[in-house]
Amino acid sequence: MLSDNDINLLAFTQSLELTTRDLYLTVVGLKTLSEQEGALLAQFHSHHVAYEQSLNGLLGKNAATARNEKVFIDFSSKLSKSSTPWAQLLEIENILVATHAKTIESIESAKVAALMASIVTVEARHAAILATLTTSDLSAALDNKAIALVAS
């Protein structure tokens, strides 16, 4: 059984995964993307769908039912102002990595912390791939300066 603390943290995490899922859905079909770029983004989208579903399974009746609208609107606006989505997607992935890593520090269940760690690992890989599309300076690209979001 999950503690109230874990439920709150996981529901917040799930809302961010729902948000990111929806953000990827808005960019997958951009006409400015090559076929390979679209396929890459579709794969990243499917990862966020899987994370949201995993969290839903853990939370059951306590599952989040909506994305984080504030984050979605903020990033939708950023994405609409750019011809390529790389920097904005990198930013959201870095925020997720920072947020999920911070969340792991407060999770009480070792099983839940392990799931969160597996999600962070893949999202950090997403960020690394996206970073290489934004700059050729690998050190600068991989330096995650994102600030973690906090569950309310």
Domain boundaries, the chain: 4-142
Q: What is the pLDDT of residues 35-53, one digit of tens each?
A: 999 999 999 999 999 999 9
CATH number of this structure's domain 4-142: 1.20.1260.10
Report yes or no on whether pTM surpasses 0.85.
yes
Q: What is the pLDDT of residues 92-136, one digit of tens each?
A: 999 999 999 999 999 999 999 999 999 999 999 999 999 999 887
- Tell me how far apart the alpha carbons of residues 120 and 102 are, in angstroms, rounded to a whole number: 10
Is the pLDDT score of 140 beyond 90? no
* Spatial CA neighbour of 96 closest among 104, 86, 106: 104
Is the pLDDT score of 139 beyond 90? no
Please list the helix, strand and coil fractions of the chain in percent, rounded to the nearest 5, in that order.
Answer: 75, 0, 25
